[in-house]
Structures are given as structure tokens and as C-alpha cells.
Amino acid sequence: MSEGINVTEQNFEDIVQKSDVPVLVDFWAEWCGPCRMLAPVLDELAAEYGEKVRIAKVNVDQQPGLAARFGIRSIPTIILFRGGEVAEQMIGMQPKENLKTKLDTLM
């Protein structure tokens, strides 16, 4: 896997909540500069972790229901899920090493 999985309201449960590995969900939008800066970092993480972690992306403009469900007010917002439950939430551009530390803790 080399890039994030696009998540919608229809597939959220299967991709995120039923996952047997930790899931990093990136809430983003195309017009968001920091979101575009974060995208290649997430692609690198997806390549490095392979099947151990799932990287998912939610476009808040296309999926306003999911954004509302998780109270997304700023983007990028990253929510880490373990066992289908929210384990951690981060707002804004995150350094790769910070994300790696959080993911390693969830594994």
C-alpha cells in the first residue's frame, strides 16, 4: 500500500471501525495547504508500515457527515483508531516522527 484509502460514510465502518490494525484517518480538503503538505508524509508512512497500519483519508468537503460526526473544525485533523475506537486526535500539520511515535504506541 502506498497511499491512503479514501473513506466515505458508506465504507467507514468496514475500513476503520472493523479494522484489525490501527487506522490513521486524515480529515482534509483539496484547498487546504497544510493538508497538501501532510499528504506525502502519510504516503511515506503507508509505504513504511505496509499491512501493520491502515492510512485512510476523509475529504471533508465530500463527506460532511463524517466531519460532523467527529467534530472536525480545523483541517488537517488526524484521528487514530484502535479497535474501532478513537485512541488519539491531532490537529494541524504533524511531523513524520510524531506520527510514527503515535502509531508505534498503538501497535
Annotated catalytic sites, by residue? 32, 35
CA distances to 4, 19, 37, 71, 102 from 30, in Å: 14, 26, 11, 19, 25
- Beta-strand relationship, 77-82 and 85-91: antiparallel
